[in-house]
């Protein structure tokens, strides 16, 4: 399978589906060339064997050299976030891409469009998705078009919209579109279909309808997400809510931009269910149901968030922590750091000894009060202490925390097991500093459950701010060196 010349061209690698597909292609050993308008945004995220080239589908002259040696080209481009006429832009981009692919003799194009029956009056978004497939086929190159319902996965537009609504609103006024039937597909299953094209001898152009195992409504999706997050939600139906009003409401309550929200809501009036199930037989993909798709999205969201360096999300917040913390998705993050003139091993000493009999280095009486409250609420309180006064291991209990990640001398991440309206983590990271010394970073993260969780965080934040600042100062002092705020 290894080749000196890339055989796969991938567009949209900086997007959600394209990014997931890029990871799968690289893991399977396929040689990939990515087309990006801003290569610098992508170059640091690809593997050493993946090539990144500059190109813009709206500028035909920039595309020709990108197709040299390409057999399969994935077209995962759309302009729904554009402030201008996205239908015109999508039509022009697909035309330029198809012409350049035809001139280069590409064997086939793979495209992801949207479900929606041709007998329905389609929204502008779905109409444009169908038209893009038609324009690509007009190039004369065989096109494998997957028409998909909404995609459920950590970070997907639909999942983020649903998550934000359910997390923040215990009571929701629901327009008619929440009852529209849909067949959501997990991102893992969509990527499996896209990868499956490479192993299938598909002749000519074909359209495949794909969806998950369950036919549900958007109401069902929201209630299932709430069930898995332990949130009881009440949905009150109303007979009418215009796309414009819905989009403005989404802009206030969710991470979706108002203009994208309006286009999305307009599409939700159309049923998006599979009528032709032939894709399952051709590609042998066993798709997940709604429950498993949401569970996977939540698990992957936690894993991806844990894999990021939380401090990166607050690097633009200024030299000091922002009051209330910086938002990262639905999470609130308070991150601060200090520099000490000692090596990382010495800087990490007070961190690995934290908790138990030694306490938390600052306002220990307040920690004991919070532990007593936790006991009254049926939680574990502060009574568990720690297994060993000097050493830690993943899985150890540490007062009301549990050690989630531990790399001696560099990283300690604790997950809270106290009674909370949400989930919480506390992380310490030590890194060597250029020229000598170390940087100690302390990060507190809270993932609130609904409005109660948000209220809890902001009410106690003044206490948290004092404790977090005092703890970091005390740790730096105990590390035995002078320090200063490096934020």
Residue 310 has pLDDT above 50, yes or no: no
The Cβ of residue 199 has, within 10 Å, a number of other Cβ atoms equal to 8
- Its sign, for the CA torsion 155, 160, 109, 91, is negative
- Its sign, for the CA torsion 178, 222, 289, 23, is positive
Collapse the DSSP code of 380 into the 3-class scheme (helix H, G, I; strand E, B; otherwise coil) and give the result: coil
Token pair 């574990």 in the structure block, residue: 380
Q: CA–CA separation, 336 vs 315, rounded Å?
A: 10
Burial of 232: CB neighbours in 10 Å, binned 0-12, 13-18, 19+: exposed
Asked if 445 and 427 count as a contact pair (C-beta separation under 8 A), the reply is yes
pLDDT of residue 224: 96
Task: Write the DSSP symbol of residue 112.
Answer: E
Q: What is the DSSP string of 138-203?
A: TTTS-EEEEEE--EESTT-HHHHHHHHHHHH-SEEEE-GGGG-EE--EEHHHHHHHHHHGGG----
Q: At what angle do helices 258-268 and 124-137 cross, to 10 degrees?
A: 80
pLDDT band at 328 (very low <50, low <70, confident <90, very high): low
Taking only the tens place, the pLDDT of each residue in 89-111 is 889 999 999 999 999 999 999 99
Alpha helices (H) in 377-438, listed in sequence order: none
pLDDT of residue 480: 75
Q: For domain 8-305, give the CATH number.
A: 3.40.50.720
pLDDT > 70 fraction of the chain, expressed in percent and rounded: 84
What are the contacts of 68-71 at 24+ separation with CB within 8 A?
Answer: 68/5, 68/104, 69/5, 69/6, 69/7, 70/6, 70/7, 70/8, 70/9, 70/33, 70/101, 70/104, 70/106, 71/7, 71/8, 71/106, 71/107, 71/108
- Distant-in-sequence, close-in-space partners of 334: CB < 8 Å, separation ≥ 6: 321, 325, 326, 443, 444, 445, 464, 465, 468
- State the average pLDDT for the chain: 84
Q: Where are the domains of the chain?
A: 8-305, 310-485
User: Domain 310-485 class?
Assistant: alpha beta
Taking only the tens place, the pLDDT of each residue in 219-269 is 999 999 999 988 888 888 777 655 556 655 665 555 544 445 556 666 677
* Residue 238 or residue 77, greater confidence: 77
pLDDT of residue 301: 76
Taking only the tens place, the pLDDT of each residue in 157-187 is 788 778 877 887 888 877 777 888 999 999 9
Judge if 8-305 and 310-485 fold alike in CATH terms. Answer: no
């Amino acid at each position: 399978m290894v080749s000196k010349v890339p055989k796969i061209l991938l567009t949209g690698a900086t997007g959600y589906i394209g990014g997931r597909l890029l990871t799968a292609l690289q893991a399977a050993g396929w040689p990939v060339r990515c087309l990006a308008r801003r290569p610098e945004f992508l170059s640091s995220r690809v593997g050493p064997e993946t090539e990144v080239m500059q190109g813009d589908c709206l500028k035909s002259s920039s595309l020709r050299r990108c197709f040299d040696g390409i057999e399969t080209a994935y077209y995962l481009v759309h302009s729904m976030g554009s402030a201008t006429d996205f239908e015109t832009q999508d039509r022009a981009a697909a035309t330029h891409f198809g012409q350049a692919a035809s001139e280069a003799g590409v064997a086939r194009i793979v495209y992801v469009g949207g479900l929606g029956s041709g007998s329905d009056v389609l929204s502008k978004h779905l109409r444009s998705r169908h038209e893009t497939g038609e324009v690509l086929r007009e190039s004369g190159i065989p096109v494998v078009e997957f028409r998909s319902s909404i995609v459920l996965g950590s970070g997907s537009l639909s999942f983020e919209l649903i998550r934000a609504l359910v997390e923040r609103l215990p009571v929701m006024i629901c327009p008619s579109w929440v009852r529209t039937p849909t067949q959501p597909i997990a991102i893992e299953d969509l990527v499996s279909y896209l990868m499956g094209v490479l192993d299938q001898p598909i002749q000519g152009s074909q359209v495949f309808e794909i969806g998950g195992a369950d036919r549900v409504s958007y109401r069902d999706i929201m209630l299932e997400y709430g069930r898995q997050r332990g949130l009881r939600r009440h949905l009150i139906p109303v007979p009418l809510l215009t796309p414009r009003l819905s989009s403005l409401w989404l802009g206030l309550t969710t991470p979706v931009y108002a203009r994208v929200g309006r286009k999305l809501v307009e599409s939700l009036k159309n049923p998006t269910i599979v009528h032709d199930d032939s894709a399952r037989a051709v590609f042998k993909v066993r798709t997940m149901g709604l429950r498993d798709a949401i569970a996977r999205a939540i698990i992957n969201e936690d894993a991806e968030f844990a894999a990021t360096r939380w401090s990166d999300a607050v690097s633009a917040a200024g030299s000091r922590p922002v009051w209330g913390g910086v938002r990262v998705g639905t999470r609130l993050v308070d991150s601060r750091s200090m520099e000490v003139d000692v090596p990382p091993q010495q800087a990490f000493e007070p961190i690995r000894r934290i908790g138990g009999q030694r306490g938390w280095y600052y306002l220990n009486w307040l920690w004991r009060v919070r532990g007593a409250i936790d006991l009254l609420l049926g939680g574990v309180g502060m009574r568990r202490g720690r297994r060993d006064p000097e050493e830690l291991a993943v899985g150890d209990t540490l007062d009301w925390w549990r050690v989630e990640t531990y790399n001696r001398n560099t990283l300690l991440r604790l997950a809270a097991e106290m009674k909370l309206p949400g989930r919480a983590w506390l992380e310490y990271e030590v890194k060597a500093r250029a020229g000598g010394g170390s940087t100690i970073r302390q990060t507190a993260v809270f993932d609130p459950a609904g409005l109660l969780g948000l209220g809890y965080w902001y009410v106690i934040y003044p206490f948290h701010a004092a404790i977090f600042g005092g703890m970091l100062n005390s740790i730096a002092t105990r590390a035995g060196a002078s320090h200063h705020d490096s934020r």
